[in-house]
Amino acid sequence: MAPLTSRVDLATSPVRDLNAKLHTGSVEACQVLNPGGRHAIAVGLRHPVTVDIHGHAGYYCAGMNDGGSVTVHGSAGTGVAENMMSGTVRVRGDASQSAGATAHGGLLVVEGSASMRCGISMKGVDIVVGGDVGPMSAFMAQAGRMVVCGNAGEALGDSVYEARLYVRGSVASLGADCVEKEMRAEHRAEIAELLAAAGMDHDPAEFRRYGSARTLYHFAAANSAAY
C-alpha cells in the first residue's frame, strides 16, 4: 500500500495547521511547499513521518523531533533540530547558529556549513556538517558525536564533557578544557559510520579527534581564584 502523502502549501495554509496534521500520526509523508523562511516548521514530531520542505526554513525547524525524518531543501535558521530526541534532520543548504542545540539523539546532517554554537550542549545527538562550523561549536557538549568535514571556528569544544569531536580541516582555536586526542582505529570506524549515514565520502584518516581534558570536572582549591 502506498504511503498516505499530504501536500501543504504554506503560502495559503498556516504553519500551525501543518504541525497539527503532522502530530496526528495519520500522515506518513508530507511535501511542504513555499516555506518562505517561516519559523517552527515540523516541530514536535512524534511519529515516523517523512517531511520534505521545499525551500528555506526559519527558526527551530524540526525542533523536538522524536522519530520523524525531515529534509530541508534549502537553508535553515537558528536552532534547527533543537532538542531532537530521535529521527533524522537533513539540511541541504546551510544552517544558522545553534544547530542541534541540546539534542539528545538522532542524526542531524548539514550538507553546507553551520554557524556559531553548532551542537551547543548536545546530549547524545550525532551531527555531521559537510562544510565549516562557526565559533563556540560544541560548547558544553555533554554526549554525542560531531563530524566536521571543513574547518572549525574559535573556541571549539569549550567546556566539553564527553562528546567526541572530529574535524577534517583546521581549527581556529580550542576552548577551555578541550584538547586534541589520539586517533585510533575505533575512531576512524566511527567517522566512517557517520559519514556513510550522512551520505558523504571522505577519508576518515583525514580527520583529527578532540575532546575533554577532564580538568574541569572537579573543584580544585589551588585554582579557586579562577572560579
Q: Please, which pLDDT band fits residue 1 given cuts at 50, 70 and 90?
A: very low
What's CA 187's distance to the chain center, in Å? 19
Q: How far apart are CA 72 and CA 202, in angstroms?
A: 23
Residue in the structure block whose three cell numbers are 537558528: 78
Q: What are the pLDDT digits (tens) for 173-185?
A: 999 999 999 999 9
CA distance 214 to 211: 9
**What proportions of the chain, in percent to the nearest 5, are helix, strand and coil?**
15, 30, 55
Query: Which domains does the chain show, CATH number per domain?
Result: 5-212 (2.160.20.60)
* pLDDT confidence bin for 226, thresholds 50/70/90: low
pLDDT tens for 63-101 read: 999 999 999 999 999 999 999 999 999 999 999 999 999
Question: What torsion, rounded to 10 degrees, do the Cα atoms 87, 93, 96, 98 define?
Answer: 30
What's the mean pLDDT when you consider all of the chain? 95
